[in-house]
Amino acid sequence: MYENLVYEMKSQYNNSSNVVIREFCMEDYDSLIKLWDDSNLPHKPEGRDRRDKIEYELKDANAVFFVALVEDKLVGSVFGTHDGRKGWINRLVVAPEFQRRGIARILVARVEEVLSALGIEIIACLIEGWNEDSMQVFERLEYKRHPDIVYFTKRKNPDV
């Protein structure tokens, strides 16, 4: 549904490499899980990141999942969703060897663009307290930190 876009990386991986941003498809699933494992991104392979759960979520018109590819290798991901009131950014990750080249900035901008076109005017992201690096990244992307907000959840089981 969304077109593939090609961007130049901020610094060079090699002289000719660009990064392609395209929609995630289920054929990417194994590479995606490997990327998250290699990048130490906390995820829930037996819960909401299980293949069938993601496949189900992908059918939701309020979900936009993008991946970043360099020379056909999956090097980044971002999941965007909205509930009509607010947009959410999840599962933002860039492979360690491709970090600090502007790929996360491009991925987040792509989700913002799509959610904004759907009329969403606020986008939020939850970041675990230990992940100060990511907090700094979001601040660089002009997100406001809210240290006064405490996150509450109720789970059917610890894997979800």
Ligand X SMILES: CC(C)(COP(=O)(O)OP(=O)(O)OC[C@H]1O[C@@H](n2cnc3c(N)ncnc32)[C@H](O)[C@@H]1OP(=O)(O)O)[C@@H](O)C(=O)NCCC(=O)NCCS
Strands 18-23 vs 5-8: parallel, antiparallel or unpaired: antiparallel
Cβ 133 to ligand X shortest distance, Å: 4
Burial group, residue 47, by CB count within 10 angstroms (0-12, 13-18, 19+): middle
* Residue among 62 and 134 whose Cβ is closer to ligand X: 134
- The answer to whether 53 and 60 have CB atoms below 8 angstroms apart is no
Write out the residues near ligand X by the rule CB under 6 A.
39, 41, 92-94, 99-105, 125, 127, 131, 133-134, 136-137, 140
* Residue among 130 and 152 whose Cβ is closer to ligand X: 130
Cβ 31 to ligand X shortest distance, Å: 15
Cβ 1 to ligand X shortest distance, Å: 24
CA-based torsion, 5, 14, 41, 56: positive or negative = positive
Q: Measuring CA to CA, which residue among 106, 78, 81 is closest to residue 91?
A: 78
Cβ 136 to ligand X shortest distance, Å: 4
* Residue among 11 and 61 whose Cβ is closer to ligand X: 11
